[in-house]
Structure 1
């Protein structure tokens, strides 16, 4: 009886010791494998402050070289950067330059060939183009009209595609180029998150961003020059879609090969965790069937 009790204590001690060693090694491995919060913050700051190849040309920032992701094989992206030239213009405002726009400038816009920040007021230091409008949602279409006219007059020869995004939008520009590489800038076409009401072919959501081919940009500007288009409503995305439809610009299909959307109009957590109620307006607005799946499975996720 005494012997069996000793054996029991021996095995118990062995088990406790083994578990202690295991948890100790796990703790050491964890500390070595994962950076601390301060290390993560320091790295994020270093990335945002990392010097780029931006060239300031007037109110525009141009980038002749592709900015690859760290530790990534960027050969395909580098080739597409030269072949599919994208100008990104970002709608912002004087009060959002430091809280929003500077983060766009430091992150995803590095992958655009040309970046122009559009505001109601000019800021030569940031820099921004002053469009001479007021601030407010009722000014969105005026800002959009004037911004596309500015881009057409000053930068039409510097890009093949012209992306409009807000200062709270995040765009994976390399994925955008992948989609656009199947088309030519001579096509009268534009892409985005396609909604279906109010127009025959639908229109692209402003919140998700949208991109016009060079021919589509040309026709948009001509629409106002010929009085075919006008400022009909402050609802920017719908008004732009109605104008482009009148000018014969096709609303393109930007879904991936599995028919999943690539442009997304809501914040990531809504798309990742929310199940939209069937009574939610989004169901009736979407041009294509909604596929509810994790965005982490979307290798072609775009915005």
Structure 2
């Protein structure tokens, strides 16, 4: 009898101890959740306060609602799997709207333009793409980026560059090349942007016959139309005079070189090119000839890799602007 009583007491003690432990763990977990929620809200509030407390505010809020960009990608049926789908999975989703322009309509989805594929039809594809956008999507954005299906774009940096300009003025933004057109033109591979007013003038140019398909060289031919329609070339360099749009991959620019004649890939530059680390802005907008694996690598380096404790080299909104007439 005494042994039975001892076993009952021992068992009861185990049950009470187990229940007490569960109660304590529950209380602890609830406190953790409460603290986590409080800390999360505090950090969010601090971040919001910190963002608005500065004496100077950037002209760009980096908000997708204030600088609306429609991105259209020049592509074709043979590139959907090897190139275009990787843009859709990386930087394409950061545009306010993205359209993939092709000669064939697919469930990708692509927009079918009434034009054949091939390099000789690139300018026709550009003309038809801008006509389609003007007809169907003009009011969905203020800026209209054309990019190839092997271009990488940092859309947030693009918005920052564009924030300095009024989209209701005739602006044309990109990497400025010099030959063939008096005022120059923007590199097609680096990507270029038309303001809403520039797009209207481009369409008007073809409606009135002031612009024509006079050349198969897409970016130069579009530049001629921009000049004819009195569209101004914007300076896309940063406050230190460094380029933001790039017609080639990073390796073409970042390696410091001994003094030499301009290499072939810098011959058309409007501004005096700089080779080495000073070539490129901290707020780069684009690189060209970037394929699938490189797209994901640049995506990671741009949005995820952060050296712990690193202080950014400069705040572009606190710098004195360089002489833009250079």
In 1, are the aligned partners of 2:257 and 2:276 still within 8 Å (CA)? no
Aligned 8 A contact 1:295 1:301 in 2: no
Whole-angstrom CA distance in 1 between matches of 2:214 and 2:257: 35
Per the alignment, residue 299 of structure 1 pairs with 282
1:101 to 73, 84, 88: 84
Q: Structure 2: how far apart are the matches of 1:100 and 1:174?
A: 22
- Listed as ranges, the gaps of 5+ residues in structure 2 are 1-46, 52-57, 287-326
Q: For 1:44-65, what per-residue CA distance to the aligned partner results, in whole angstroms no more than 9, with x for missing partners?
A: xxxxxxxxxxxxxxxxxxxxxx
State the 1:80 CA deviation: 2.3
Aligned to 1:61: none
Cα-Cα RMSD: 2.1
Q: Once the two structures are superposed, what CA deviation does each residue of 1:159-190 show, in whole Å capped at 9, x if it has no partner?
A: 00000000000000100100111111111011
Correspondent of 1:138 among 120, 138, 148: 120
CA apart distance, 1:78: 6.9
Q: Secondary structure at the match of 1:151?
A: helix
- In the aligned structure 1, how far is the partner of 2:279 from the partner of 2:246? 13
Q: Match for residue 236 of structure 1?
A: 218
Alignment partners' CA distance in 2, 1:121 and 1:104: 18
- 1: CA distance between counterparts of 2:210 and 2:180? 18
Cα contact 1:194–1:204 (8 A) shared by 2: yes
2: CA distance, partners of 1:116 / 1:176: 17
Of residues 72, 92, 111 in structure 2, which corresponds to 1:89?
Answer: 72
Residues 1:263 and 2:245 aligned together: yes
For residue 205 of structure 2, give the secondary structure of its aligned residue in structure 1: helix
Q: Is the 8 A contact 1:80 1:178 kept in 2?
A: no
Post-superposition shift, 1:273?
3.4
Alignment partner of 1:287 is 2:265? no
Q: Are 2:163 and 1:178 aligned?
A: no
TM-score where L is the length of structure 1? 0.72
Query: Does 2:98 correspond to 1:115?
Result: yes
Deviating beyond 4 angstroms after TM superposition, the runs of 4 or more aligned structure 1 residues are 73-79, 274-277
Counterpart contact for 2:170–2:232, Cα < 8 Å: yes
3-state SS, counterpart of residue 98 of structure 2: strand
User: What's the offset of the Cα at 1:244?
Assistant: 0.7
Relative contact order, higher structure (CA 8 A, sep 6+): 2
Q: Say whether the 8 Å CA contact 2:154–2:285 is kept in structure 1.
A: yes
Alignment of 1:75-86 (within 5 A): 80-86=63-69
Structure 1 residue 223: deviation in Å? 0.2
The answer for unaligned runs of 5 or more in structure 1 is 1-72
> 2:179 is matched with which residue?
197
Distance 2:208 2:257 in 1: 45
- CA distance in 1 between counterparts of 2:278 and 2:284 reads 7
Change in CA separation of 1:130 and 1:241 when aligned onto 2, cut-off 3 Å: same
How far apart, CA to CA, are the structure 2 residues paired with 1:98 and 1:184?
37
Deviations 1:181-223 (A, max 9, x none): 1111111011111001111110000010000000000000100
Rounded to whole Å, the distance in 2 between the matches of 1:221 and 1:295 is 38
Match of 1:220 in 2: 202
Distance 1:287 1:98, change over 3 A: same
- TM, length-normalised to structure 2: 0.67
How many corresponding residue pairs?
Answer: 230
Work out which of the two has the higher radius of gyration on C-alpha atoms and give 1 or 2.
2
Please tell me whether the aligned partners of residues 72 and 146 of structure 2 are also in contact (alpha carbons under 8 angstroms).
Answer: yes
SS, match of residue 83 in structure 1: coil
Contact 1:113 1:159 in 2 (8 A): yes
Task: Name the CA distance, whole Å, in 2 between partners of 1:297 and 1:283.
Answer: 14
Matched, 1:207 2:185: no
